[in-house]
Amino acid sequence: MTVAGFIADLPDIPRIITALAQWLACLVCILPLKRRDSVKGWRFAAVSAAFLAAQCIYMVATDGFEGIAWNLCMAGAALLMFCYIRVGTATTRNNAVGCGCTAFIAAEFAASFEWQIWCYIHDHFDVRLKMWKILILVLVYGIVFISIWQINKNISSADEEFTVTGKETVLTVVATLLIFAVSNLGFLPVSMPFAGRDSAEIFNVRTLVDLGGLAMLYAYQSQWKSSHIQRELETIQTILNSQYEQYKQAQRAVDMINYRYHDLKNHIIALRTEGNDSQRHEYLDKLENEIRDYEAMNKTGNQVLDTLLTSKNLRCMQHKINMTSVIDGSLFDSMDVMDICSIFGNALDNAIECEVQIKDYEKRMIHVDAFSEKSFLIIRFENYYEGNIHFEKGLPVTSKKEKSLHGYGLKSLRYTVHKYKGEVQIDTRDNWFSLRILIPLYMEKVSLQAD
């Protein structure tokens, strides 16, 4: 910052040092975020080098500006930082603005703090070698930006990047402007209110205000993350309850169907005794075989699974979807009813929704199997699909317009599987979507004992 004419004790911060701080602040914000597919590997290195050169050239070229012109130059530097984050990551615009604001204040703090350390060592120890100046720069920037990188990594450690609203973005920008303004009040001309008189105190205030502002911005981001996680957990819990309610409704429906089929069997017996017509016997044989097929359908050995699979199978029949299953229901005896509903309900709803979009009825196929292998419970859902499926954080991205309102079914499933120390794997190959779940069998026993 230009202080000529007002402060003579401490020299100006070299613009190249400020430019380096701005670039490093952006870099440590970018690293924990997902990068664009077109900007990875050597391309990201090339883009980063280009932005470093642009930042340094811009800051050096605007050296000497004062007053309003200096503020406009800093706004231009902040815009360059935003562009670097936007180009280097696949994050949303609002989140890029928030990251850019945090990076700008972090750069202001790092540059001011490093320059104060260097000036102190230079004056008190009479260190004048350029090597020492570089060494101190590397040391201070290393400590500051490694710490900031770790904070950014912790904030961005959720399974999915949380959504920043427009209101939160505006509040972040306003807070950043206030922090920047307050930290630089001391550099006003001495005739103005709040202007500083002693350079050391002015730099101290600037560094401390930037540090406090940086802590405030990170606290605000942590609050966003906590609120997002809380909303997501509430949504997942709602889905769990919804699947359980669907199971209870399906249980009542299946019980009613069983009563009707039982009555139908009695009618068939009565019809057989009334005559010997061969066609009628043939028709009755056909009905009886269908009843046997129904009775054998979805008999897994677990009542919850039987009900769920029967209800989903009935839905598949309505949409002309061929659904088959081979399941050992005894493997689920120790699993909570709501968890069974979450896993099978969400997975099958997702598969059915996919199959309904396929125009060719012969290609509408779903297969489910569950078995044990090497002390693992393995559950596999497979269905045919058409088109392209995009993944993010290991889960398919919903194709619906309101993305914030959809896509929670598989998240709920994964959340339930993680309760049992299991893992979810999703593969797509030759137009077959495969969802594979592995759960250690001993975890089910532990869950049962805990209940």
Residue 2 is predicted with a pLDDT of 40
Residue 391 is predicted with a pLDDT of 65
- Between 347 and 231, the more confident residue is 347
- Between 199 and 109, the more confident residue is 109
Residue 288 is predicted with a pLDDT of 64
Q: Assign residue 383 a region (left: φ > 0; alpha: ψ between -120 and 50; beta: otherwise).
A: beta
Residue 49 is predicted with a pLDDT of 93
Statement: residue 399 has pLDDT above 60: no
Q: Which of 301-310, 326-335, 393-402 is least confident?
A: 393-402
Residue 159 is predicted with a pLDDT of 44
CB 44 within 8 A of CB 35: yes
- Give me Rg for the CA atoms of the chain: 33
Residue 8 is predicted with a pLDDT of 43
Q: Assign residue 190 a region (left: φ > 0; alpha: ψ between -120 and 50; beta: otherwise).
A: alpha
Q: Which of 61-70, 166-175, 391-400 is least confident?
A: 391-400
DSSP code of residue 319: T
Cα dist from 25 to 43, 71, 75, 84, 372, whole Å:
19, 20, 16, 11, 50
Residue 7 is predicted with a pLDDT of 38
Statement: residue 403 has pLDDT above 50: no
Statement: residue 164 has pLDDT above 80: no
Indicate the average pLDDT of the chain: 78
Statement: residue 158 has pLDDT above 50: no
Nearest Cα neighbor of 61 from 80, 85, 40, 44 is 80
Statement: residue 135 has pLDDT above 70: yes
% of residues, the chain, pLDDT over 90? 23
Nearest Cα neighbor of 160 from 111, 207, 209, 229 is 229
Sign of CA dihedral 247, 251, 252, 254: positive
- Between 16 and 314, the more confident residue is 16
Nearest Cα neighbor of 92 from 22, 173, 167, 162 is 162
Residue 404 is predicted with a pLDDT of 44
Cα dist from 361 to 318, 321, 357, whole Å:
12, 7, 10
Sign of CA dihedral 299, 300, 303, 306: negative
426 - beta bridge partners? 435
For the segment 58-73, the average pLDDT, to the nearest whole number, is: 84
Nearest Cα neighbor of 390 from 381, 404, 400 is 400
- Between 234 and 361, the more confident residue is 361
Phi, psi of 437 (to 5 degrees): -120, 130
Angle in degrees, 0-180, between the axes of helices 408-419 and 199-274, rounded to the nearest 10: 90
pLDDT tens per residue across span 239-259: 666 666 666 666 655 665 665
% of residues, the chain, pLDDT over 70? 70
Q: What is the pTM of this model?
A: 0.61
Statement: residue 451 has pLDDT above 80: no
C-alpha 237/C-alpha 234 separation (Å) is 5
The residue count for the chain: 451
Exposed/middle/buried for residue 186 (C-beta within 10 Å: 0-12, 13-18, 19+): buried
Statement: residue 174 has pLDDT above 60: yes
For 442, the token pair is 């001993």
pLDDT tens per residue across span 314-353: 788 878 889 888 888 889 888 888 888 888 988 998 899 8
Q: Give exposure, 74-89, as e/b (b: 16+ Cβ within 10 Å).
A: beebbebbbebbbbbb
C-alpha 305/C-alpha 300 separation (Å) is 7
